[in-house]
């Protein structure tokens, strides 16, 4: 008998799948395949957006400036007023030793 419950992973898998797509995208080879509607599919809105950004930050290698700028161009993260999302977005720059808008 297992003492661990199995939880519905549907919401977590949505942010993980979007993260996977961002990691596989090669900016200098193909145009940006992402749209604002990517985040619109998140049922929990800002909570899933935060999880998506956190998952990207957990990667061993930083995303790179091209992808970080594309994140903002597509999702307008620098305009979002949610402080947790702003912080997590800023962490991507910090990992590269840069500041937003450098």
What distance in Å separates the CA atoms of residue 81 and residue 95, rounded to the nearest whole number? Answer: 22
Q: Is the pTM of this model over 0.75?
A: yes
> Which residues of the chain are under the pLDDT cut of 70?
1-5, 8, 100-102
pLDDT for res 81: 92
Sign of the CA dihedral with 7 first, then 60, 51, and 43 last = negative
pLDDT for res 1: 53
Residue 76 burial (CB count, 10 A): 11
What distance in Å separates the CA atoms of residue 57 and residue 51, rounded to the nearest whole number? Answer: 10
Cβ burial, residue 60 (10 Å; 0-12/13-18/19+): exposed
pLDDT for res 25: 96
Q: What is the DSSP letter of 5?
A: P
pLDDT for res 17: 93
CATH of 10-24+35-95, one of 3.40.50.1860, 2.40.50.140, 1.25.40.320, 3.40.50.720: 1.25.40.320
């Amino acid at each position: 008998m297992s003492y661990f419950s199995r939880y519905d992973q549907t919401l977590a898998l949505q942010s993980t799948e979007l993260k996977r797509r961002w990691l596989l995208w090669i900016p200098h080879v193909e145009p940006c395949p992402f749209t604002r509607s990517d985040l619109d599919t998140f049922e929990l809105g800002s909570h899933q957006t935060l999880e998506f950004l956190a998952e990207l930050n957990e990667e061993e290698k930083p995303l790179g400036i091209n992808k970080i700028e594309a994140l903002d161009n597509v999702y307008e993260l620098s305009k979002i007023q949610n402080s947790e999302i702003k912080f997590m977005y800023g962490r991507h720059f910090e990992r590269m030793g840069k500041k937003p808008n450098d």
